Chains A and B, each alone.
Chain A
Amino acid sequence: MKRLILALILAASPAFAVNPDEVLDDPALESRARDISAGLRCVVCQGENIDESNAAIARDLRLLVRERLVAGDTDAQVVDFVVERYGEYVLMKPTTGGANILLWGAGPALFLLAAIGAVVYLRRRATSTGPEGLSEAEKARLDELLGK
Chain B
Amino acid sequence: MIAELGHVALVLAFGVAIVQMVVPFVGAQKGWSGWMAMSVPAASLQFLLIAASFAALTYSFVTSDFSVRLVTLNSHSAKPMLYKVSGVWGNHEGSMLLWVLIVALFGAMASWFGGGLPPRLKALALSVQAAIGVAFIAFILFTSNPFLRLAQPPFDGQDLNPLLQDPGLAFHPPFLYLGYVGLSMAFSFAVAALIEGRVDAAWARWVRPWTLAAWVFLTIGIALGSWWAYYELGWGGFWFWDPVENASFMPWLFAAALLHSAIVVEKREALKSWTILLAILAFGFSLIGTFLVRSGVITSVHAFANDPERGVFILMILGVFTGGALTLYAFRASAMEAKGVFGMVSRESALVFNNILLAVSSIVVFVGTIWPLVAEMLFDRKLSVGAPFFEAAFTPFMVVLAIVLPFGALMPWKRARIGRLLRPLIPALVLAVLVALLVWTLQTQRTILGPVGFLLGAWLVGGAAVDLWSRLGRGPLAGRLGRAWRLPRADWGRVTAHAGLGIVFMGVSGLMAWEVEDIRVAQSAQSYEVADLTITMNEVRREQGPNYVTTVADIAVRQDDRLIAVLQPEKRVYPVQAMPTTEAAIHNGFWRDIYVVIGDPQDNGGYAVRTFIKPFANWIWAGSLIMALGGLLSLSDRRYRVAAGASRRARPVGGVPAE
- Pairwise interchain contact A147-B240, C-beta atoms closer than 8 A: no
| Contact residues in A for B205 (Cβ distance below 8 Å) | 145
Interface membership of B446, Cβ < 8 A: no
- Pairwise interchain contact A118-B384, C-beta atoms closer than 8 A: no
- Inter-chain CA distance A82–B92, complex, in Å, is 37
The residue from A3, A9, A88, A122 contacting B383, defined by CB atoms under 8 A apart: A88
| Contact residues in B for A9 (Cβ distance below 8 Å) | 579
- Give the contacts of B397-455 with A (CB-CB under 8 A): 397
The residue from B302, B356, B371, B657 contacting A94, defined by CB atoms under 8 A apart: B371
Interface membership of B18, Cβ < 8 A: no
Proximity string of chain B (218-234) to chain A, C-beta cutoff 8 Å, 1 when within and 0 when not = 00000000000000011
The residue from B200, B356, B371, B387 contacting A92, defined by CB atoms under 8 A apart: B387
Interface membership of B299, Cβ < 8 A: yes
Interface membership of B478, Cβ < 8 A: no
Known: A16-B599, A106-B367, A107-B393. A92 touches B580 (CB 8 A): no
Proximity string of chain A (1-18) to chain B, C-beta cutoff 8 Å, 1 when within and 0 when not = 101110111011111111
- Inter-chain CA distance A1–B90, complex, in Å, is 11
| Contact residues in A for B571 (Cβ distance below 8 Å) | 14-15
- Pairwise interchain contact B597-A16, C-beta atoms closer than 8 A: yes
Interface stretch, picked from B322-330, B338-346, B554-562, is B338-346
| Contact residues in A for B202 (Cβ distance below 8 Å) | 138, 141-142, 145
- Which of chain A's residues has its CB closest to B339's CB? A130
- Give the contacts of A107-148 with B (CB-CB under 8 A): 107, 110-111, 114-115, 118-119, 121-123, 125-126, 128-134, 138, 141-142, 145-148
Interface membership of B546, Cβ < 8 A: no
- Give the contacts of A1-57 with B (CB-CB under 8 A): 1, 3-5, 7-9, 11-21, 23, 38-39, 41, 45-49, 52
Interface membership of B488, Cβ < 8 A: no
- Pairwise interchain contact B242-A47, C-beta atoms closer than 8 A: yes
- Give the contacts of B302-361 with A (CB-CB under 8 A): 302-306, 337-344, 348-349, 352-353, 356-357, 359-361
Interface membership of B608, Cβ < 8 A: yes
- Give the contacts of B588-641 with A (CB-CB under 8 A): 597, 599-600, 602, 608, 610
Interface membership of B1, Cβ < 8 A: no
Interface membership of B301, Cβ < 8 A: yes
- Pairwise interchain contact A122-B163, C-beta atoms closer than 8 A: no
- Inter-chain CA distance A115–B359, complex, in Å, is 12
- Inter-chain CA distance A19–B338, complex, in Å, is 62
- Which of chain A's residues has its CB closest to B357's CB? A111
- Inter-chain CA distance A147–B654, complex, in Å, is 9
- Which of chain B's residues has its CB closest to A138's CB? B200
Interface membership of A103, Cβ < 8 A: yes
- Inter-chain CA distance A46–B303, complex, in Å, is 9
| Contact residues in A for B648 (Cβ distance below 8 Å) | 147
- Pairwise interchain contact A98-B379, C-beta atoms closer than 8 A: yes
- Inter-chain CA distance A119–B356, complex, in Å, is 11
Known: A16-B235, A39-B388, A52-B237. A3 touches B306 (CB 8 A): yes
Known: A20-B608, A126-B344, A141-B202. A4 touches B305 (CB 8 A): yes
- Pairwise interchain contact A99-B388, C-beta atoms closer than 8 A: no
| Contact residues in B for A130 (Cβ distance below 8 Å) | 337-341
Interface membership of B270, Cβ < 8 A: yes
Nearest CB in chain A: distance from B483 CB, A = 22
- Inter-chain CA distance A128–B597, complex, in Å, is 64
- Pairwise interchain contact B519-A19, C-beta atoms closer than 8 A: yes
- Which of chain B's residues has its CB closest to A129's CB? B341
- Pairwise interchain contact B349-A14, C-beta atoms closer than 8 A: no
Interface membership of B378, Cβ < 8 A: yes
Known: A18-B519, A93-B392. A46 touches B301 (CB 8 A): yes
- Which of chain B's residues has its CB closest to A15's CB? B599
Known: A1-B305, A92-B386, A94-B384. A12 touches B360 (CB 8 A): no
- Inter-chain CA distance A19–B656, complex, in Å, is 66
Interface membership of A58, Cβ < 8 A: no
Nearest CB in chain B: distance from A39 CB, A = 6
- Pairwise interchain contact B341-A47, C-beta atoms closer than 8 A: no
| Contact residues in A for B383 (Cβ distance below 8 Å) | 88-89, 91, 94, 100
Interface membership of B55, Cβ < 8 A: no
- Which of chain A's residues has its CB closest to B639's CB? A146
| Contact residues in B for A126 (Cβ distance below 8 Å) | 341-344
Nearest CB in chain A: distance from B490 CB, A = 15
Nearest CB in chain A: distance from B605 CB, A = 13
- Pairwise interchain contact B363-A91, C-beta atoms closer than 8 A: no
Proximity string of chain B (366-382) to chain A, C-beta cutoff 8 Å, 1 when within and 0 when not = 01100100010011011
Known: A16-B597, A141-B202. A123 touches B344 (CB 8 A): yes
Interface membership of B582, Cβ < 8 A: yes
- Pairwise interchain contact A93-B388, C-beta atoms closer than 8 A: yes
- Pairwise interchain contact A138-B201, C-beta atoms closer than 8 A: yes
Interface membership of B119, Cβ < 8 A: no
Known: A47-B386, A92-B388. A122 touches B363 (CB 8 A): no
| Contact residues in A for B343 (Cβ distance below 8 Å) | 126
- Inter-chain CA distance A89–B657, complex, in Å, is 58
- Pairwise interchain contact A20-B521, C-beta atoms closer than 8 A: yes
Q: Which residue, of A20, A46, A133, has the highest number of chain B Cβ atoms within 10 A? A: A20
Known: A4-B161, A145-B643. A99 touches B392 (CB 8 A): no
Interface membership of B549, Cβ < 8 A: no
Interface membership of B197, Cβ < 8 A: no
Proximity string of chain B (68-108) to chain A, C-beta cutoff 8 Å, 1 when within and 0 when not = 00000100000000000000000110000000000000000
- Which of chain A's residues has its CB closest to B609's CB? A20
Nearest CB in chain A: distance from B388 CB, A = 4
- Inter-chain CA distance A5–B599, complex, in Å, is 21
Known: A11-B233, A12-B582, A142-B202. A118 touches B352 (CB 8 A): yes
| Contact residues in B for A145 (Cβ distance below 8 Å) | 116, 202, 205, 642-643, 645
- Pairwise interchain contact B521-A92, C-beta atoms closer than 8 A: no
| Contact residues in B for A125 (Cβ distance below 8 Å) | 270, 338, 340-342, 348
Interface membership of B300, Cβ < 8 A: yes
Interface membership of A78, Cβ < 8 A: no
Known: A17-B235, A110-B363, A146-B642. 10 other contacts (CB 8 A): A13-B580, A16-B597, A16-B608, A88-B382, A92-B389, A115-B356, A118-B356, A145-B642, A147-B648, A148-B655
6 CB < 8 A contacts A-B: A21-B521, A47-B384, A98-B381, A122-B342, A130-B340, A147-B647
Closest 5 A/B residue pairs (Cβ): A92-B386, A93-B388, A15-B599, A147-B655, A107-B364
